[in-house]
Amino acid sequence: MGHGHGHGVSSGSAKHLGRLWVAFGIGAAFMVVEFIVGFTTQSLALISDAAHMLTDVLGVGMALTAILLARRASFKGSRTFGLYRAEVLAALANAVLLFGVAGYVVVEALGRFGDPPAVPGLPVVLAAAAGLVANIISFFMLREGAKDSINVRGAYLEVLADLIGSVGVLISGAVTLVFGWRYADPVMGVAIGLFVLPRTWKLAAGALRILFQHAPERLDVEAMQAELSRLPGVEEAHDLHVWTLTSGMEVASAHLTTCQDADPARVLEAAQTLLAERYHIEHATLQVEPGASAERCREISW
C-alpha cells in the first residue's frame, strides 16, 4: 500500500490573492458610485449594473475569505482534508447571488414597460463609463486566475457579466440622451439579466460537480482503469475513485490486484508514474494486493 504526492501542491486560487484584493477594492468603490447615480436618476439599467457589481464585490470577498481559510487547511484533528472545499462553496454561493440578481432585474424591467420613467441620459452615461473602466481593469486582473481555479472563475464571471452590463448601460444611456427613448433603460435591464443566467448555470454546475465528488470532466475514468490494469504485474485495477478537492487539486484512490510473482514496489511506482505523467494526478492513494485478498473488496457494494 502506498501513496504518491507532489511537493508544493496548493489551491489554484492562492497565487492570485493579490489580484483578488485589487479587484475587490476597485469593485467596491465603483459600486457605490453606480448605486448613488442609479437611484438618483431612477435608471433601472444602472441600478441593475450596480447590483451586478455588488455581487462582484461579494463574490470576490467570498473568494478571498475562502483562500484565507484554505491556507489553514493543514491536518488538524478531524479536518483531514482541511478547508479547501470552502473555495467551492464560495463559488456556489456566487452563482446563487447571480441567479437572484438576474431574476430581480428581469422582473423589475418587465414591470416598467407599461410606464417607463424618464431617465436623464448624461449621468447614466458617465457612471456607466466609470463602471466600464473599473470592470475592464478587474477583468484583466482575474482572467489568468480563472483558468486555475473555480473560485477565481466565479469572481471572473461576475466581473465579465458586469463588464457587458456596463457596456449595455452605456448604450442605453446614450440612446436616451440622443433620442429620448424611454424604453431603452428597461430593455437593457432585461438583456443584462438574460445574459447572466446561462453563465451562472455553468458556474453552479461546476461547483456542484466538485461537491458531489464526480470525476473531473477532463478525465476518462474507464480509460484510466484500463491503463492501470495493463501495467506489468497487475491483473486488475478496481475500486477506482477520482475526485476534485478544489480547483487544481485532483486526487485518486485505487486497488491494484497483482500477479503472484509481481514486485509490489515496482507496481506501485509504475502506477504512481502513470497517474502523475499521463493524468496529472500527483496525489494518489494506491493499495497493492495479491489476488486472494482482492475478494474482500468485491464484497463491498459501494
Whole-number mean pLDDT of the chain? Answer: 79
Cell digits of residue 157 = 464571471
Q: Under 8 Å CB-to-CB from 263, ≥6 apart: which residues?
A: 233
More confident residue, 30 or 237: 237
pLDDT digits (tens, 9 = 90+) for 265-296: 999 999 999 999 999 998 899 999 886 555 66
Cell digits of residue 197 = 443566467
More confident residue, 250 or 199: 250
Distance of CA 184 to the CA centre of its chain: 33
How far apart, in whole angstroms, are the C-alpha atoms of residue 188 and residue 243? 41
Residue 162 pLDDT class (50, 70, 90 cuts): confident
What per-residue confidence (pLDDT) applies to 256?
Answer: 94
Give start and end residues of each alpha helix (H) in 44-147: 44-70, 85-111, 121-142
Cell digits of residue 147 = 483558468
| Residue limits of CATH 1.20.1510.10 in the chain | 7-211
Contact 199, 99 (CB under 8 A): no
How far apart, in whole angstroms, are the C-alpha atoms of residue 250 and residue 291? 28
Of the candidates 26, 11, 267, 253, the residue with the CA atom closest to the CA atom of residue 158: 26
What per-residue confidence (pLDDT) applies to 8?
Answer: 40
Percent of the chain with pLDDT over 70: 81
What per-residue confidence (pLDDT) applies to 252?
Answer: 95
How far apart, in whole angstroms, are the C-alpha atoms of residue 126 and residue 120? 11
Contact 248, 12 (CB under 8 A): yes
| Residue limits of CATH 3.30.70.1350 in the chain | 221-298
pLDDT digits (tens, 9 = 90+) for 2-15: 554 444 444 455 56
pLDDT digits (tens, 9 = 90+) for 128-158: 888 888 888 888 877 776 666 666 776 777 7
Highest mean pLDDT among 5-9, 70-74, 197-201: 197-201
Angle at 72 between CA 254 and CA 208, to 5 degrees: 55
pLDDT digits (tens, 9 = 90+) for 217-273: 889 999 999 999 999 999 999 999 999 987 778 899 999 999 888 899 999 999 999
DSSP 1: -
Helix/strand/coil for 280 = coil
Protein fold of 7-211 = Alpha-lytic protease prodomain-like (1.20.1510)
Listing DSSP states for 95-123 in one string gives HHHHHHHHHHHHHHHHHTSSSPPP--HHH
Which one-letter amino acid corresponds to residue 289?
E
* Domain 221-298 class in CATH: alpha beta
Distance of CA 166 to the CA centre of its chain: 22
Q: Under 8 Å CB-to-CB from 291, ≥6 apart: which residues?
A: 235, 257, 258, 259, 260
